[in-house]
Amino acid sequence: MTETTTGTDLSAEQARRETELTDRVLASFEHTPDPRLKELMQSLTKHVHAFVRETRLTEAEWNTAIEFLTAVGHITDEKRQEFILLSDVLGASMQTILVNNPAAGAATEATVFGPFFVEDAPQIPLGGDIAGGAPGQPCWVEGTVVDTDGAPVPGARIEVWEADEDGFYDVQYDDDRVAGRAHLLTDQDGGFRFWGLTPTPYPIPHDGPVGAMLAATNRSPVRAAHLHFMVTAPGLRTLVTHIFVEDDPQLAIGDSVFGVQDSLIKRFDTQPPGTPAPDGRELGDREWARTRFDIVLAPDTA
């Protein structure tokens, strides 16, 4: 019979009834044709029933949970994925990423995907600008892509996307703009370089049920300042990651989706007005920043 933690004052008869129910539900999945689906459904059942029994969940609390999940579904549309947001703030997204991206030598660590990636972002040349007119401090980003043996990876596709200085991604505006996102390809030496914006902290969307949950639990909705990357190349594991700004005060408070890894915290050096840009770009009397992110891709063992 299935065992679980229950209340200390539970009678033997009550414990028997609760355990028997769990066993009946588990047995209902015994003839599932797909063995992996069977494993997932039975494990989920065990954990859900254990949670209900351990916490002695009330019917009112169960109803509140159903209402919460219904609200998460209602606010989700083609531009906003509240279920991903919920997964993110519970750390489930990050845990799944850790499980599916095992350590491989010096390979760059992965982190959360986030809800604002868009397929078919425009291609820019090396040294191009992903900002697309979005407001913010210009930032020069450069680095290399290599494999775990240190060999350069030419032609790797690098998707980059970020919020503007007001904390919004382009898809959060109503005018169909494309800004703060693009893709580029590494050169023959695995090098890449582009202009973006210096990342700034911003809150995840918190005007919906997930935001209400964070408020009720006294948690900040703010994400540490970051720049998204997704790197793909044949024969190598796809990398989804961010880089974070070293002196961002939010790092000490915490990232609302648990995406920060120490190895991904990078120094962003502010350059005084008049400092020559690496590519000769004229920036006038504006400050700008620069950073370096060298990427190591793990072999694809799938």
Identify whether residues 56 and 156 lie together within a single domain: no
- Any idea what the CATH number is for the domain that residue 156 is in? 2.60.130.10
Segments in 82-136 forming alpha helices (H): 82-89, 92-100
Average pLDDT over residues 131-151: 97
Quote the domain boundaries for residue 60: 12-75
| pLDDT surpassing 90 at residue 195 | yes
Can you tell me the distance from the alpha carbon of 264 to that of 110, in angstroms, rounded to the nearest whole number?
A: 9
| pLDDT surpassing 90 at residue 170 | yes
pLDDT tens digits for range 94-130: 999 999 999 999 999 999 998 789 999 999 999 999 9
83 in a structural domain: no
Identify whether residues 141 and 49 lie together within a single domain: no
96 in a structural domain: yes
Identify whether residues 164 and 288 lie together within a single domain: yes
Identify whether residues 155 and 211 lie together within a single domain: yes
Amino acid occupying residue 227: L
Identify whether residues 204 and 62 lie together within a single domain: no
Which of 178, 168, 185, 179 is closest to 115 using CA atoms?
Answer: 168
pLDDT tens digits for range 224-265: 999 999 999 999 999 999 999 999 999 999 999 999 999 999
| pLDDT surpassing 70 at residue 2 | no
Per-residue tokens: 153: 């990876």
Q: How many domains, in total, are found in the chain?
A: 2
| pLDDT surpassing 90 at residue 81 | no
- The answer to whether 240 and 230 are in contact (CB under 8 A) is yes
Identify whether residues 271 and 126 lie together within a single domain: yes
| pLDDT surpassing 60 at residue 4 | no
| pLDDT surpassing 60 at residue 5 | no
Extended strands (E) in 254-301: 265-266, 269-271, 288-292, 295-297
Q: What is the pTM of this model?
A: 0.87
Can you tell me the distance from the alpha carbon of 159 to that of 122, in angstroms, rounded to the nearest whole number?
A: 10
181 in a structural domain: yes
